[in-house]
Amino acid sequence: MKRRITSHGEPGPGDAGKTGSWRVLRPIIDYNKCAPAKKNKKLCFLCWLYCPDGVITKTIEPAIDYEYCKGCGICAEECPSKAIEMIEESVFFNKEK
């Protein structure tokens, strides 16, 4: 996989494999609360900055790559707008069946 520069330089998505399968909780962004999505401006992006795996985009709206997100919850902890909720992965598993 091509390496990309993340908010913290390294590591980048995929460096530890497809860690999405480790996930017990899935972060879901509520774009009605997320500052850049609400204001249509490039601001905040603390989730992008703090995600240890660099799997959140610095875009309006921020997006999470679930193939590599391991569900650590740091993004939800750091979001000043409480726009990210950690939801039990089993909820999605049952819906996607």
Judged by the rule CB under 6 A, the positions of this chain that interact with ligand SF4 are 27, 29, 34-36, 44-47, 51, 53, 55-56, 62, 64, 69-75, 79, 81, 83-84
Q: CA 20: distance to chain centroid?
A: 11
Rounded to whole angstroms, the Cα distance separating 25 from 16 reads: 18
The residue among 14 and 69 lying less far from ligand SF4, judged by its C-beta, is 69
Minimum distance from residue 28 beta carbon to ligand SF4 (Å) = 10
Rounded to whole angstroms, the Cα distance separating 60 from 47 reads: 13
The residue among 3 and 87 lying less far from ligand SF4, judged by its C-beta, is 87
Residue 80 near residue 43, CB atoms below 8 Å: no
Q: CA 27: distance to chain centroid?
A: 6
The residue among 14 and 44 lying less far from ligand SF4, judged by its C-beta, is 44
Minimum distance from residue 64 beta carbon to ligand SF4 (Å) = 5
Rounded to whole angstroms, the Cα distance separating 85 from 71 reads: 11
Minimum distance from residue 39 beta carbon to ligand SF4 (Å) = 10
Minimum distance from residue 30 beta carbon to ligand SF4 (Å) = 8
